[in-house]
Amino acid sequence: MDPNLTAPADPFAVQLRGVWLRLGREVILRGVDLDLPAGSGVTLLGENGAGKTTLLRLMAGALRPTRGEGRLFGYALNDARAVRDQIHLMPVDAALYPDLSCQENLEFALQMYGYGPQRRQEAGAALRRVGLERAAQRRVRYLSAGMRKRLALARASLLACPLTLLDEPFANLDAAGRQLTLELLGG
């Protein structure tokens, strides 16, 4: 382990050192160094195909660096349990279950993060916050793209993980939805 990386429980949400990533024949990330202080909000900008989604997936533990190393709140990035406990990644397609209702999607997410039935009652309030109370029992497959994004935001705010990664958080949202995103996730 690189001694320049600080010890567990340090104030950095993410630290990357010399991270390279190859996917197939293509090298997508070339020597990325990154320090993201805990509690900060950071926007990643870059042209199409630059590697933003890939970098988010790497930080969420879904991809392993080909070379280099990273830490998440001081834990090694390849510590699957730490990553699971600390991170929520909202991917660009929202990753919802189409045959579950809005309410069921939120309850299931809470269950997956180990919350008991008491916490699950908060799903209704979260749906109200994003304007989906009337669609609570509707299956996700019948929602519009913007409604899906709102549901994914409700899930992210409900889980309130130490690190929330949002891929294209404003896509498909109207002006009120974009404002809501900033309010819910502290942008």
Ligand X SMILES: Nc1ncnc2c1ncn2[C@@H]1O[C@H](COP(=O)(O)OP(=O)(O)OP(=O)(O)O)[C@@H](O)[C@H]1O
Report the nearest approach of ligand X to the CB of residue 52 (Å).
4
d(CA 3, CA 71): 12
d(CA 12, CA 75): 10
Give 138's Cβ-side CA count (13 Å radius). 13
CB closer to ligand X, 13 vs 21:
21
Question: Binding residue for ligand X (CB under 6 A) from 39, 46, 114, 116?
Answer: 46
Q: Is 172 in the site for ligand X (CB under 6 A)?
A: no
Question: Binding residue for ligand X (CB under 6 A) from 5, 18, 52, 95?
Answer: 52
Report the nearest approach of ligand X to the CB of residue 117 (Å).
37
Q: Is 43 in the site for ligand X (CB under 6 A)?
A: no
Identify any residues that bridge with 74 across adjacent strands, giving them in sequence order. none
CB contact at 8 A, 110 and 158: yes
d(CA 149, CA 130): 10
CB closer to ligand X, 5 vs 44:
44
DSSP three-state, residue 94: coil
Question: Binding residue for ligand X (CB under 6 A) from 54, 120, 139, 163?
Answer: 54
Residue numbers at the binding site for ligand X (CB under 6 A): 23-24, 26, 28, 46, 48-54
